[in-house]
């Protein structure tokens, strides 16, 4: 794997800041992510069970090693308060090599 695709940005939305902070801490403690950013004030519009929903949510973005995708996805799904949480991973096309190395050093499979 090259430096450019050796890590992922995994995103999920949560109902509030407290839920996002709790999940972020757990991911960091388990070494499933090296860095997590939380952005509040996200407005989400979607259909759920045939009904249009408009919710205020919090976006969590976790930087992790690509080889941890299966573990971080499974962990988020098991700990998430939603029935069907968004769990999306993006692979950056360009990454500072020193930053990518730091992410690799800070994460590890269980």
pLDDT digits (tens, 9 = 90+) for 67-79: 999 999 999 999 9
Model-level pTM greater than 0.75?
yes
Identify the structural domains of the chain with CATH numbers, from first to last: 3-106 (3.30.70.120)
Q: Residues 40-62: pLDDT tens digits?
A: 999 999 999 999 999 999 999 99
Element (H, E) at 5: none
Q: How far apart are CA 108 and CA 110, in angstroms?
A: 6
Q: How far apart are CA 94 and CA 27, in angstroms?
A: 24
Element counts in the chain: helices (H) and strands (E): 3, 4
């Amino acid at each position: 794997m090259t430096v450019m695709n050796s890590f992922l940005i995994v995103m999920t939305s949560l109902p509030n800041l407290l839920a996002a902070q709790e999940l972020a801490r757990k991911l960091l403690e388990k070494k499933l992510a090296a860095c997590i950013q939380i952005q509040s004030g996200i407005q989400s519009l979607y259909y759920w069970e045939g009904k249009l929903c408009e919710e205020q949510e919090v976006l969590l973005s976790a930087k992790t090693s690509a080889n941890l995708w299966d573990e971080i996805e499974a962990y988020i799904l098991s700990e998430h308060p939603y029935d069907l949480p968004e769990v999306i991973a993006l692979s950056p096309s360009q990454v500072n090599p020193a930053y990518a190395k730091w992410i690799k050093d800070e994460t590890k499979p269980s």
